[in-house]
Amino acid sequence: MNLVSTAIGYPYIGENREWKRCVESFWKGAKSEAQLMAEMKSIRLNNLKRQQSLGLEYLTVGDFTFYDRMLDLATMFGLVPNRYQWTGEEVDITTYYAMARGAKDVVACEMTKWFNTNYHYIVPEYEGQSLQLTKNYLLDYFTEAEEELGLNTKPTIIGPYTFVKLAKGYDAKTKAFFILKLIPLYAQVFQQLVDAGARWIQVEEPALALSLTADDVKLVQVIYKQLATEVPAAQIMLQTYFEGLSAYEELSQLPVAGIGLDFIHGAEENMASLRKHGFPQDKVLGMGVVNGRDIWRANLAERATQTKAVLSLSGVKEAWIQSSCSLQHVPVTTKSETRLDATLKDALSFADEKIVELTHITSYIRDEAWAGNKSVSQSMLATQALAQHKARKNARVNELVSQVTPEHFARPMTFKERQPVQKEALKLPDYPTTTIGSFPQSDPVKRTRTAWRKKEITEAEYTAFLKSETARWIQIQEEIGLDVLVHGEFERTDMVEYFGEKLEGFAFTEKAWVVSYGSRCVKPPIIYGDVEWIAPMTVREVDEAQQLTSKYVKGMLTGPVTILNWSFVRDDLSREQVANQLALALREEIQALEDAGIAIIQVDEPALREGLPLRKENWADYLAWGVNAFKLATSNVKNETQIHTHMCYCEFNDFIEPIRALDADVISIETSRSHGELIQSLKQNPYELGIGLGVYDIHSPRVPSEEEIDAILNDSLEVISKDQFWVNPDCGLKTRQEEETIASLKNMVAAARNLRQQQKQTV
């Protein structure tokens, strides 16, 4: 049997985030375009050399990007919206980054989650453009690897069905035209790669793991039949991941040379499909047997046994032993971590370590012996040691969980009953203005925090700085005229990490970075033990801010499901069990805030939707426990206390019932890049609780005009009543500059005042 080890993709950011620093330096004007291109090439080649040195046998190109791979494809095919005034030919880097981030006079393309991961992609916009192949960057990467390193790599590209599925701007009538324009371009890309000597082309189609209709299946069959006809010499590895392959019986017969299946997240379904339908013997089987989405060390004996079972069941003569999906969803290497608990660190596996696991499994299947006589026993001992860790045997947490009753999941009054009580207690103006929570993390803030962490300044000096910065921003907010203020969160590096550092059961890394969107990198906490609230986490900062103003200052917390979904989570408990532990800890924090006199408490759940299973038929169970976790955290407050929440990138139309079920008094939603779509959704599905539609895009460095916000507010009046209506930016302001933040908020407040005046005149 012919076996080869490979990975679907590798993290492009570098062990020390070299990619991020390079890109951001270019954005600031500190690097020329030539310098950017040279450094990016160096990073690409170093990533390949690193994987080669780890023993990976078949390397991938095209997993690299200058911002986002969906954006790469859109620009490669000339799918540039008219507002960018692109004139054809190759898309220049200025236009590319304008689409990603916006520019002074033009808004960015919409950004949303890549399936149910924590990564965001740029949504392609189809406007009926005459598409063209502007530049085959995959050919460039393939040739570069061959010329510089002597490697024959497999180029990888997001497949046409997934690309169209995740794009926007077409309807049922124009979809066919869109696809008909795309297929010849894909064929052109494939032919050029074949002509250049590419033995395989990896075509990623994660959308084939979604629920597919009969029409979807027919469309996929038409697409791949056409590609096979136009480029018969192309050896396509059709790569699926995140779930089992839908419509397996039909799609396994597509005219491709290989099919990659996820035997981690789609293991049960894919194995059942193999038993029922077998696997085509003329195809190569890609076997995703090492988890590309978590950070836990594989039990090599178990993985090898599973791999053997799949090979036996499929009967194939050739297979790829690979990651379940791209490794971009995990950090680069555990070797950079020097401070972790030894038992925990030994149980971790990041991208480099996962590659080594792949090579071990591959060599074992080939040779019936483990490379390195201790590799398999070490993996077993590491997982067993973590299972016995004292952090997983917290008696108080287990007792609290056992005491939860149905009454813990509901507030005493309904929203309709609470609303007049809160209106009388809070006495806020119509169309109250506020922000989502964070203010700019300026260079002085970052430098001072770094100095504190390095013990270059004392705790007292750091606390004094934070108090001073909070006081300055309370004054700024009052001068701007905001109605409900925030303390600014200057003590917080990350909205999840901050809370994890104050709870039991969490661990934190030094360099375990992953990309969230663009150049935004995060270090997800590791939930490895039972989660326990120890002492107030936010009360001091919010209470001190409240003492500085007669206006309300919101308490700011991150919700249990978001902490769960934005962390790497232990795999010995269900996610529901971990969410309930988090909810109980936050419940104690909310009680502490209320006891301190905080009247408005925001519990953000931006990640509630992104944790949804890929298939709608599996949503109900997740939403039941996810909504209950939020309610478990928030239901212990008085009726007068107003609970807010916030969500990002939410497809409101198919998510209104779960949002309503949260029973939050006010929800703010990030919608500025798709405001019109949300208005239409609310027309179809009215929402009765308090709501703030984000009135400007905080991910773009532009300042929205007062008139622009006026228009958004007036559009919103079509679907939101005065008693429900809040006015706010669409997300936190942490990443923005101070000058643009103040200017934007002034325009927002002025627009809200215009609306109040307008309403008075019509009464």
Q: Which residues are catalytic?
A: 699
- DSSP β-ladder status, 503-507 and 526-533: antiparallel
Closest alpha carbon to 637 in 591, 586, 597 = 591
Query: Cα separation of 7 and 239, whole Å?
Result: 11
DSSP string, 118-167: S-EEEPPB-SS--------HHHHHHHHHHHHH----EEEEE-HHHHHHH-
Q: Please, are residues 351 and 53 in contact by the beta-carbon 8 Å criterion?
A: no
Closest alpha carbon to 534 in 502, 506, 558 = 502
CA torsion angle for 75, 609, 101, 188 (degrees, to 10)?
Answer: -10
Query: Cα separation of 8 and 239, whole Å?
Result: 8
Query: In Å, what is the CA distance from 721 to each residue of 178, 686, 714?
Result: 39, 10, 11
Q: Please, are residues 90 and 134 in contact by the beta-carbon 8 Å criterion?
A: yes
Query: Cα separation of 671 and 652, whole Å?
Result: 9
Closest alpha carbon to 682 in 656, 657, 712, 645 = 656
Spell out the SS3 assignment of 341-396: CHHHHHCECCHHHHHHHHHHHHHHHHHCCCCCCCHHHHHHHHHHHHHCCHHHCCHH
- DSSP β-ladder status, 514-517 and 520-522: antiparallel
SS3 assignment, position 643: strand
Q: How many CB atoms lie within 10 A of CB 536?
A: 18
- DSSP β-ladder status, 120-122 and 111-113: antiparallel
Q: Please, are residues 683 and 720 in contact by the beta-carbon 8 Å criterion?
A: no
Scanning 481-549, the segments in alpha helix (DSSP H) are 497-500, 539-546
User: Where are any strands of DSSP class E within 481-608?
Assistant: 484-485, 503-507, 514-517, 520-522, 526-533, 552-553, 555-558, 568-569, 600-604
CA torsion angle for 293, 299, 300, 306 (degrees, to 10)?
Answer: -80
Closest alpha carbon to 161 in 223, 212, 119 = 223
Q: Please, are residues 258 and 211 in contact by the beta-carbon 8 Å criterion?
A: no
User: 336: which DSSP letter?
Assistant: G
User: Any idea which residue has 């004292």 for tokens?
Assistant: 390
Phi, psi of 690 (to 5 degrees): -65, 140
> And the tokens for 709?
């916000």
- DSSP β-ladder status, 154-158 and 666-669: unpaired
- DSSP β-ladder status, 258-262 and 111-113: unpaired
Q: What is the number of helices (H) and of strands (E) in the chain?
A: 27, 23
Q: Please, are residues 547 and 479 in contact by the beta-carbon 8 Å criterion?
A: no
Q: Which residues lie across from 158 on neighbouring strands?
A: 204
User: Where are any strands of DSSP class E within 422-580?
Assistant: 484-485, 503-507, 514-517, 520-522, 526-533, 552-553, 555-558, 568-569
